[in-house]
Amino acid sequence: MDIQQITSFHLDVLKEIGNIGAAHAATALSSLLNTKIDMHVPQVEMVTFNDMMERVGGAETFVTGIYLRIDGDISGGMFFIMPVEQANQLIRKLIHDETFNFAQSPSELGLSAMQEMGNILSGSYLSALSDFTSLKLYPTPPALASDMFGAIISIGLIEVSQISDYVIVIDTSIIEQDEKDGTEEVSGHFFLIPDPDSFSTIFTSLGVQ
Amino acid sequence: MFTNLDVVKVGIAQLDVAIHTQTIRTSGLGSCVGVVIYDESKQIAGLVHVMLPDSALSRGGQLTVAKFADTGVPALVEIMKKRGAIPFKLKAKIAGGAQMFKFTSNQDSMRIGPRNVDAVKDQLRKLGIPIIAEDTGGNSGRTIEFNPQTSKLQIRTVNQGVKDI
């Protein structure tokens, strides 16, 4: 399937995938942290690589990212990206260490907590996706990095960039409610970036042509 | 230090040229390589943000020349000649080609950083353009900005601050 043949109906179908995956991941995160975690309606768009950089506030935004590759019936990349300040708060809560900081020689304990969280979140996202589509998915173990968003996300564009200048990204952001004043803030993004030749398999598995 | 100058911003898989009062910048280089080619005598500098080593990897219809080392570097030199740069005076500074994630798997896309660096060096050698300075490899993202008046390439990383090469 040519990336140009993808219609708005197809994008809606992909939205459902983002919905189901991220809903499961948000539930997992919610029980892990014992707080209420919500999610936005997924955004599924065909964007240029440079538009992709604006998803989390520009190529230089300092983020913590978890990345894994998916193989099996379909292939692609998956990211869970948090602004580094949000990631710090999350890990401080998890390991009860107020000094933890991804920016300044982070402790092994905190790093492995983040790694483990990546395991849990991506695992629940992908198993929901696999159940929904009946496709076999084999993820690599997630890898962790804290750096500029552009530097991190570009590894997920390598496959796509061999075929196209556009990427179809399934972007679901999760939001956390502040316990004190009830304000909401985006705490992280799931990005699912299927390789271009995987789209027809996804659509066929869902009975869509 | 460059605050009073115009900045030409170059996105991923793009190229552009800056002169005199301008600087030229690209942000968030990971496995990609930023190639700066400049002519000190004319104070003109070009930058290409290369994503992939070889246009033979392209399986799509249209070819975006700035995306690949083997097409992007020569294309940049051609544009610079048109803007008045003198071919035998051209020099280069390069940065990027990091490996952002440590994976145990030996996947090709994981080694893309070093392959990009090698491909860029290959092209520069073919074109007879000497590399004056480089900051490549490692596992940090980089933002780079070149000033054609000083021929300095400023490199910013999240963990190691700012340096000039």
Each residue of B125-135: pLDDT tens digit? 999 999 999 99
Sequence-distant (6+) residues with CB within 8 A of A66 are A79, A80, A81, A114, A115, A117, A118, A121, A122, A142, A143, A144
Name the strand (E) or helix (H) holding A91. Answer: helix A84-95
Residue B32 annotated in active site: yes
pLDDT given for residue B101 in this prediction = 87
Chain B residue at shortest CA distance from A163: B60
Catalytic position from the list B10, B32, B48, B51: B32
The whole-angstrom separation of Cα B47 and Cα B36 is 4
Tell me which residue of B149, B147, B151, B143 sits closest to B49, measured CA to CA.
B143
The distance of Cα A107 from the centroid of its chain, to the nearest Å, equals 24
Strand partners, B93: B36, B133
Taking residues A92-110, what's their average pLDDT? 90
- Alpha-helical segments (H) within B127-155: none
DSSP 8-state assignment for residue B98: -
pLDDT given for residue B28 in this prediction = 95
Tell me which residue of A156, A193, A169, A172 sits closest to A74, measured CA to CA.
A193
Taking residues B107-118, what's their average pLDDT? 82
Residues of chain B above pLDDT 70, percent: 92
**Across chain B, where does the E strand assignment appear?**
6-9, 15-19, 22-29, 33-39, 44-50, 91-96, 131-136, 142-147, 152-157, 161-164
The whole-angstrom separation of Cα A93 and Cα A200 is 42
Q: At what angle do helices A108-133 and A8-33 cross, to 10 degrees?
A: 140
Partners of B145 on chain A (C-beta within 8 Å) are none
Partners of A151 on chain B (C-beta within 8 Å) are 28-31, 98, 100, 140-142
Say yes or no: A158 contacts chain B, CB-CB below 8 A.
yes
The whole-angstrom separation of Cα B116 and Cα B98 is 10
Residue that the structure tokens 């042509």 belong to = A209
Which of A16-30, A76-90, B27-41 has the lowest average pLDDT?
A: A16-30
Taking residues B71-84, what's their average pLDDT? 96
DSSP 8-state assignment for residue A51: H
pLDDT band at B110 (very low <50, low <70, confident <90, very high): low
CA dihedral sign of residues A79, A80, A86, A90? negative
Q: What is the ipTM of this complex?
A: 0.88
Going along chain B from its start, the domains and CATH numbers come out as 6-164 (3.30.1330.200)
Name the strand (E) or helix (H) holding A175. Answer: strand A166-177
Strand partners, B50: B33
pLDDT given for residue A67 in this prediction = 92
CATH number for the A3-205 domain, one of 3.40.50.10860, 3.10.110.10, 3.40.1550.10, 3.40.50.300? 3.40.1550.10
Q: Is A190 in contact with A142 (CB distance < 8 Å)?
A: no
